[in-house]
Structure 1
Amino acid sequence: MPGAYLLALLVSAAGVAALDARGRLVLWRRPRRAAVAILIGTAFFLIWDAVGIATGVFVKGGSPLLLGIDLAPHLPLEEPVFLAFLCYLALVVHAAALRRLHTRATRGRRA
């Protein structure tokens, strides 16, 4: 089913965004800073991918789950979407972990 991987990425990103919105962790706390961090992270990993593709380390496998649209040789459309999702997920997990640690430290001081 072409597009299933992209659909899975978008549904997963929507789930992470819902958790983010509920906890006001990243995008709902500081949207401009979060967007810049996601863009910088995505750009970094795209450059990493370009180097890997140029050296022959990364190649696109044939999968019926991809749309079949390539942005460059061996760089499917889904790759930057995945990289942006990865960066967003990392930011949300980091913010949630920091909040959890802060909550624990605050409770520890009260006891």
Structure 2
Amino acid sequence: MGFLYLFLLLASIGCMVLLDHRFRLFFFADARRAAWVTAIGLVFFLLWDLGGIALDIFYRGETPIMLGIVLAPHLPVEEVFFLGFLCYLTMVLFGLVSLVLNRDGKRSTSRHEAEQ
């Protein structure tokens, strides 16, 4: 059962990939830019976590659903996947909102032109 949390994180990332692929929101819109944005976000949040650990703000809780593998004191391997998921989710949501707003903008322009 120690793999459950990592499995759920990977399944969630897989769902984001499917949504991204379907609507071309982030990686499937521009893979190079998406890789850079994700890498920068991941490094930022890992440094944030390491800083919090160094200041005794963040601690690793013991739970049976985690692997128990740590990359550094109080930094479980699952944290890297969680932070990657967080970055990816944020950018997919940003792409989705942009897509919806652009479609609404095109519709309102068409309605405006139809009224004239």
SS in 2 for 1:59: coil
Residue 25 (structure 1) shift: 1.0
**Residue of structure 1 equivalent to 2:25:** 25
Residue 4 (structure 1) shift: 0.4
**Mapped pair 1:46 → 2:46:** yes
SS in 1 for 2:61: coil
CA distance in 1 between partners of 2:67 and 2:32 (Å):
30
Alpha-carbon displacement from aligned partner over 1:49-84 (angstroms, at most 9, x marks no partner): 011000110000001111000000000000011101
Q: How does 1:60-75 map to 2 (within 5 A)?
A: 60-75=60-75
**Residue of structure 2 equivalent to 1:88:** 88
Residue identity matched to 1:11? A
Gaps of 5+ in 1: none
Larger Rg: 2
CA distance in 1 between partners of 2:89 and 2:14 (Å):
11
CA distance in 1 between partners of 2:108 and 2:2 (Å):
51
**Residue of structure 1 equivalent to 2:14:** 14
Residue 35 (structure 1) shift: 0.8
Residue identity matched to 1:20? D
Q: Number of matched residues?
A: 111
Residue 109 (structure 1) shift: 1.0
CA distance in 1 between partners of 2:100 and 2:19 (Å):
14
Residue identity matched to 2:41? G
Runs (4+) of structure 1 exceeding 3 A deviation are: none
CA distance in 1 between partners of 2:31 and 2:63 (Å):
35
TM-score between the two structures when normalised by the length of structure 1: 0.98
Residue 23 (structure 1) shift: 0.5
Residue 86 (structure 1) shift: 0.5
**RMSD, matched Cα:** 0.5
% identical aligned pairs = 44
